[in-house]
Amino acid sequence: MDRDRISRLGTTPPEAERASEQLAPLELGLTVRLDRPFHELKEFLVSEFERAYVTRCLEQSEMNLSIASRTCGLSRKHLRTLISKYGITVTRAVASEGDDHPVTEP
């Protein structure tokens, strides 16, 4: 993917991000140049959104998958699929929920 033509904009300045490392920024800013193929851009937008959304959602629910699922309007199955797809590390949820199947990816 040509990163010169597609960019992700953090809406929180780097200083502020360092100051609150526990929680990802509440807002996601995305900019795409519209002169790239449709499917490439759509896939990029959706991926960036899903990754940021699930990360934020899990952090906010303190890695509790049940709470995350409820607050984000996602089924647990869908949530687990997204966690796996983006290789998001979930540590506390596995222990606190007694889940037999870790969803953590390396």
Q: Is 1 in the site for a second copy (CB under 8 A)?
A: no
Residue 19, token pair as written in the block:
């100051």
Residue 40, number of CB atoms within 10 A of its CB: 14
Distance of CA 61 to CAs 15, 25, 94, Å?
24, 14, 13
Binding mask 35-54 for a second copy (x = CB under 8 A): x-xxxxxx--xx--xx-xx-
28 belongs to the binding site for a second copy (CB under 8 A): yes
* Of 3, 4, 15, 26, the one binding a second copy by CB under 8 A: 26
**Does the footprint of a second copy cover residue 32 (CB under 8 A)?**
yes
106 binds a second copy (CB under 8 A): no
Asked if 29 interacts with a second copy (CB under 8 A), we say yes
Amino acid identity of 76? R
Q: How far is the CB of 45 from a second copy (least distance, A)?
A: 6
Check: CB of residue 6 under 8 Å from CB of residue 33. Answer: yes
Under 8 Å between Cβ of 44 and 1? yes
3-class state of residue 64 by DSSP = coil
Contacting residues toward a second copy, per CB under 8 A: 9, 11, 24-35, 37-42, 45-46, 49-50, 52-53, 56-57, 60, 72-74
